[in-house]
Structure formats: C-alpha cells, structure tokens
Structure 1
C-alpha cells in the first residue's frame, strides 16, 4: 500500500462533508431515523458492503478481511435533537422545524461511512473483520441492545467510537484511559400532601414546602457524602405543583438527574437520595415516593485499548495532536458496548471560532469544523488495523 491511511482518508474528505451536510439538513429524532438509515444503507449497497438491520433503523455492516477470528466493532450514532436550529446563514441548516443535529451525530455517520471507503482500499491485506455499527436513538438511551445482540455470536475483540467535541481545538485527539463520561441516572420524586385553601394552611400539608426542603437537603449530599476528588453532580430540573395562587395543592413532582463517575458513589447517592427524601417528607407529615431510572452507563476507556489508540494517532498525525481532556459529566450509552467489550471512545476536536464552530453541544447554533472529518475516518481505520496486530 503506497498511500497511508491518513492520505486515503483525506481523499474522501469532500465525500464526508457532502454526506454530513445532507444528514444535517434532514435531521431525525430518536427512533425516527428512517431517512438517515436509508441513506446509510444506500451507501453500503453502493460500496458492496453487506449489512443487517438492528431494530427499526440501526445497521450493522460487515467488511471481511483475511482473518474472521479477529473482529473490531466501530460505532456511530445517527439521531438528532428536538432543538430549533439558529444557523440560517448555513446553506445546510436544518429543514425540519424544531429538529437539529446539535451534537455532531451527523459527522459521526459521515466519518464511519468515510472509514468504509478507506477499508475498501485495505481489506485485502486486513488481518481481521470490521463491524460498522450505525446506532439509532442514542439521545434517548436506545439502540445498543439490538446491535449488541447482532454482535454477540462473533469474536469481537474491541469496540470503538468517536465523539466530535466542541470544547477541543479542531483536529486534536483525546483518547486517554479511565472514566470519560458519567453515568446518568434520572429520578422523579412524587410528594403527596393535603390540599386546602391558601388562607388556611394549617388545615393542609403543603407539598411545595416539602419539595423546597427536599431540594435544599439533598443539595448537601455531593459536598458532604462524596469524596471531593470524585466527579459527581445531582441536579433538579423540574418542580411542578398546583394551578392557582390561592390554593395549596395536594401533590408536587420533582425530577432531576444524578451523574457519577464511580460505581460506589452511584450506589451510595441513590440510597442517600431515597433516605433524605423520606426523612424530609416524614418531618413535614407528607408522603414521598422516589423512582430512579438508569440512563447512560459510566463510560470507561480500557487502558490497553487507549494505549493502542494513542499509538494510532501518533502514527497517523503525530504526538503533537494528542491532548489530555477531563472526564465529562454528560452521558453516552456507548458505555453499553464497553460493559461487554474492551474498547474506548475517542474525542476529536471540532472547535474553530473563525468558522463559528464554538458553541456547546445541544446549543441551537452548534456547528463543527468539518476539517476534522477525515481525521476521524482515519482513526476508525487505523485503530481497527492496530487492534488486529495487537489484541
């Protein structure tokens, strides 16, 4: 092979930009990615790459090399967000009101399809087989079970994903080991009081007062019950109660999110949340029920796989493009893959203020520096080839 993987990937840069803009213009919400899935299937058919559907719109494609017993799974998520895009100056701005690719998933799909192009150049010498996984519904915690079921019969040695990240300078890579994204548990607290007229509060049990006390009491848990060197967050985002200003309602509902980067902290905080809610409700003569639903799992990069990814970046682009980046408190259900297979999620920077790519993920003006796309495709391919040599 006379060209390097990076050089071949660069040849497909315009292809990836075109794909990314097409997907960006026609975003689809979780579990509704029919058009995006069709686009991916059309490209795979054009390239002669066989695939299976994973759920309604997820896809697992297979590129066979010389050794069927060495296998790596590469993943890209496809869904958009319920956000109205505020980028009217972009010719590829969302054409669907209230729906936007504000997290980079359009770029993730484009990079993995770009990698598919590159694999076609090297598959005859490839000492392994690649599974290309296009996942539906990541933003709502879905899509992983169907893909993992399709992967289960095969000897997958590692799972790998890339997340484009707007807080990192365009083209830089973070592939370090350890916790990278937090577990995201969602909770709801239903407080049952006794309703009455606002003029006679002594005749009722005010659930709004109870809810307020719960918020204040729970707010101390992170500061006083968790090791301060561990990243954790407990946030309330919803309080709903009552309909009229002169009526004490009989019920209040609180909801929030619990983020942890240590499994022991996760277990402790779930129990502590229940304990404080119950004791606070008892103190005010109210009743409270707590429900906690698992969101995205903790995402840990396995040490050996991170080392292989670091070596890959060095060989493709040089050590100067590697950087350390702290763990994030947001969640990502690629962690479901990493609970089954060793692997990692790499971050690639897409921040470039001169191009307006400087807004946070989930912001209505979010955009990316597309120059990073070929780098992501090259890393997908380079990491898989490195795993075939080393795992």
Structure 2
C-alpha cells in the first residue's frame, strides 16, 4: 500500500516544503485575488513538466498522467487568505500585507500539495491512472469549489481527497471521520421596518429595536424546541444594526446570523422557521419583516470506504497511533461541493503544539502551525492517491 519512493521523496523535500509555505504565508491574497499565488503554482508545476490550466479568475487545475491506464483521483488544496491582521509579527515569515493573513492554514495546504505533486510525478510511470491537482481559490467565501466544479475540476474524476491543517489537534495526528465531518454553513439576514419618531413619544412609533430584540430572544427556540436534540444544529445571531441616535426611536433594524447543521431536512426546517418567526414577531408589533437566506457550503459527508482508506493509509505510513478521533465540527468547508459530484473524503492533520505557540484557533491573528505537520500532510496527499489508484476502496473493510 505504501510507496517507499514517495515517503523518501517527501523526507528529502522537507526544507523546500517549509520554504514554500513560508513564502506563501508572507504574501497572502484574499479570495478571488490569488493572482501571485496562482502564478507561483503554475511556475512550480511547469518546472516539473506537469500539465495545467488556469481557472478563472484565479486557481489552477493540473494533471499527472500515469504510465498505466486506470482511474483518476483528485487532490485539492485551497489557496486564499483572510482579512485578518497578523498579531504574531515577530515571525520571520509574517504577512507583508496589512490586514491580510493566512490565518487558516491554506498556505500549508498549497505547499503540501505542490510537494506531493513533485513526489507523485517522480513515480508517474508506475501510476495505474491519473492524479488531478486542484489548487482552489475562494474557499473562505464558500464560492471557489462551486466555481471550479463548473470549470471542470472533477470531470472524469472517480474519487476526491482533501486535507485541512487543524490547530485543535496535536501535531501530525490524522483524523478522517466516516460520515459527517463539517457542517453546512448558511447566512441569513432579517430586516425589520417599523415607524421611527421622537424618543419621548413612543406611542406614535413602532420601535424596530423592540421588534429585533424580541426576534433575537425568541428565534433561539427554533433549535432548542423544534429540532430533535440528537441532531446537531446551531443558529447564531452575530450582528444587529439598529438605531441612529439616543433619543430617536429606530425605524429600521438589520440582523445577520448563521445556521449550521448536518442534516438537509433540518437545514430546510430552520430556513422555513426563520421566515415564520420573523413574520410573526413583526405582526405582534405592527412592523414589516424581510428575510434573506443564503445557502453557503453543503455538509461535508465523507464516503465510508474513502475515509477507511485514509485511515488505512495513515496508519501504514505513520503508525497506528497517528490516528485521532476528532469529533465533527460545526465549521463550514466548501470541499462539500466536490463530494456532491464524486465520492471522496476530507481529512484533518494536526498542527497544534503549545510549546511552539501553534495552538491558536483558526482565523485568530496569532494563528500559526507546527511545521512538522507539513511532511505528514504532503505524504498523506501522495500516499492516498497512490493507494487509491493501485488498490481502490472496494475491498476496504
């Protein structure tokens, strides 16, 4: 199952792997702005002689053609950074861009996949099939995967695999849950319109502040009282914009929030309940309500046989004690859009180490990774592709 040439190559490329990650970390680009990152990926692939094409407006799809006929497995890495100010500025590879930072590990993902591609390319004559390489933009706005699917990222692909560096797990541990892994992640906006007026004459007004506050308090019961408690769901109101002045009764209120769950029926139910609650709360006070609901990522549901293959590969490559039982997260991941098209799985590779100050949560300004995890991720990418093409998932018990 494990290709020793791949293992040796990843070890040999260790310094290069770290160098690539640090370069990308210091030059972060936001979603749909990954122009320099795209150019760097293309240049790297070109030197290896790997065929590729740019996607629009950013991103790269490449392919390693095996020397023998067989299936095609896709490996995906995202490339975009966040609008986060880097706080750990003492790092020698800290962001050079004010207000922009790789605070989620996508720099590591891109570096790992590039080096995995280098290792796989060296054994391509022995590959019974092809390896599709997907360098994806705009994961942080939940739009990149959907767009790359439209541009043919998984056409002709039989299986897809992705990795996320995870600071909440010990360095180089590997987790790949069978079934639900990441939740669907949706955004809602509720607008209430009342009737404004002087703060001394409330009887002449319909106070949008009261309407919005009532909605925020009552809408929590959508999950606590209308959803089966054995089915995970989260409804969070994260922003409330209401009022203009201390002595003016507000005419308008805007509320924004997010909904997370794993079950499609629960997702439909919560969307419907948001509309019902908003309209009924508005009716109580004589106000008007408008609800906008944007469906972001789907839930990431790992194919059982693919997840078992990840576990088998990780155990064989790094030892059985590397396997880690990480619970599904309510976080969102647009890798789900690939899984809507073809079977596959999404793994987590630990990069948290308090001794190296890499235990910070994703999206925090102090986020960093233990770079010892890079080799684990790069090899897992490459060994999964090798194992899938040479053995498949049909006989994984």
Tell me, yes or no, whether TM beats 0.5: yes
Gaps of 5+ in 2: none
Q: Distance in 2 between matches of 1:3 and 1:177?
A: 27
Structure 1 residues 31 and 256: CA distance shift in structure 2, 3 A: same
> Displacement, 1:67?
4.0
Give the alignment's Cα RMSD to 1 decimal.
1.4
Structure 1 residues 2 and 323: CA distance shift in structure 2, 3 A: closer
CA contact (8 A) 1:164 1:348 kept: yes
| Residue 320 (1) aligns with residue 313 (2) | no
Structure 1 residues 246 and 110: CA distance shift in structure 2, 3 A: same
Q: Distance in 2 between matches of 1:155 and 1:287?
A: 49
Deviations 1:64-111 (A, max 9, x none): 003454101110000000011011221000010100000000000000
Q: Distance in 2 between matches of 1:11 and 1:86?
A: 32
CA contact (8 A) 1:184 1:260 kept: yes
Gaps of 5+ in 1: none
Which residue is equivalent to 1:250? 251
Which residue is equivalent to 1:16? 17
4+ long deviations beyond 4 Å = none
Q: Distance in 2 between matches of 1:194 and 1:297?
A: 38
Structure 1 residues 308 and 2: CA distance shift in structure 2, 3 A: closer
| Residue 309 (1) aligns with residue 310 (2) | yes
Which residue is equivalent to 1:200? 201
CA contact (8 A) 2:313 2:384 kept: yes
Q: Distance in 1 between matches of 2:3 and 2:131?
A: 22
> Displacement, 1:154?
4.0
Q: Distance in 2 between matches of 1:4 and 1:178?
A: 32
**Number of residue-to-residue matches in the alignment:** 391
> Displacement, 1:146?
3.7
Deviations 1:340-364 (A, max 9, x none): 1100110000001111111000000
> Displacement, 1:11?
1.3
Q: Distance in 1 between matches of 2:297 and 2:3?
A: 42
Deviations 1:165-208 (A, max 9, x none): 00000010001211111111100001010111110001010011
| Residue 75 (1) aligns with residue 76 (2) | yes
> Displacement, 1:367?
0.1
TM-score, normalised with respect to structure 1: 0.97
Deviations 1:214-258 (A, max 9, x none): 001101111111121222110011111121110112111011001
Structure 1 residues 144 and 352: CA distance shift in structure 2, 3 A: same
SS of 2:123 mapped into structure 1 = helix
Which residue is equivalent to 2:121? 120
Q: Distance in 2 between matches of 1:117 and 1:222?
A: 48
Which residue is equivalent to 2:47? 46
CA contact (8 A) 1:54 1:146 kept: no
TM-score, normalised with respect to structure 2: 0.96
Q: Distance in 2 between matches of 1:146 and 1:204?
A: 46
> Displacement, 1:8?
2.1
| Residue 374 (1) aligns with residue 371 (2) | no
